[in-house]
Chains A and B, each alone.
Chain A
C-alpha cells in the first residue's frame, strides 16, 4: 500500500552543519509531496511542498526536490541553526481529495 519511509532519528548535528533527511514514498502515480515541521510543544506547520516531478520546494533555507525516478523528496539545508531543532515529517497525497499519508517523523537536534 501507499507509504512513506523517513530516516530514523534522532539526528544530531552541530550548528552550521549540512543537513539531509531522507524521505522516500511508495505510491501508484505521481503524488504531491510535503515536508511539515513540529517545533517543541507546538502543532505541525507546513515547511515546503512540491506538486510535480522536478519541482523544488524551498522555505527558511530548507530545500527538497521531487525526484520521480527515485520516488524521493529528501530535505536539505546548507547550514543548520539551534532553532532548527524540531521533528520533521514527510507526507504525500495522491489526489487533492485524498488524505495525506505521513512518515513517522525524524527528530533533529542541533547542538551549539
Chain B
C-alpha cells in the first residue's frame, strides 16, 4: 500500500528559481495538507484542501501556491524560492477533517541557496 508519496526527496534550488513539490495519495482521502518542518519548531501548515477544487491557506502561505484538480494529487509550488524556504516539507492526508488522524508522506528536504 503506497499511502502518501512525495517527490523529490531532496532538492537544491537557487534563489529566485521556481519548482513544484509533488504529493499523491491512494487512500481516497478528502483532506490534504502541506506542512513545513523547521528546527526547534513544530510543524506549520502552509495550505490545505478539503476536496478536489477546494484549497485554503494555512498559517504560513506566503510564497507558495497549491491546486487540487483530483482527489489523489496535491502539488505545492514555490513561485520564487528564497533562503527562508529552506526546510523539510511534508504532505499529509486525512480521511475526514484537518483535526483527524493525519497520514504523512516521507518528506522533501529543500535547500535554497
A→B interface (CB under 8 Å): 4, 32, 34, 36, 41-46, 49, 89, 91, 93-105
Q: Measured between alpha carbons, how far is A99 from B45 in the docked complex, in Å?
A: 8
Chain B at the A interface: mostly helix, strand, loop or mixed? loop
**Contact status of A49 and B98, CB under 8 A, knowing A43-B106, A99-B45:** no
Q: Which of A44, A96, A101 touches B102 (beta carbons < 8 Å)? A: A44
Q: Which residues of B contact A (CB under 8 A)?
A: 4, 33, 40-45, 48, 58-59, 90, 92, 96-107
Q: Complex formed: what's the CA distance from A73 to B71 in Å?
A: 34
Q: Taking each of A49, A93, A94, A104, which has the highest tally of chain B beta carbons within 10 Å of its own beta carbon?
A: A104
Q: Could you say which of B4, B90, B92, B100 has the most chain A C-beta atoms within 10 Å of its C-beta? A: B100
Number of A-B residue pairs, CB cutoff 8 Å, is: 63
Write out the residue numbers on chain A whose beta carbons fall within 8 Å of the beta carbon of B59.
Answer: 99
Contact of A96 among B40, B45, B99 (CB under 8 A): B99
Q: Are B99 and A99 closer than 8 Å at their CB atoms?
A: yes
CB distance from A13 to the nearest CB of B (A): 21
Residues A99 and B58 in contact, CB atoms below 8 Å apart: yes
Cβ–Cβ contact B41 & A104, under 8 A = yes
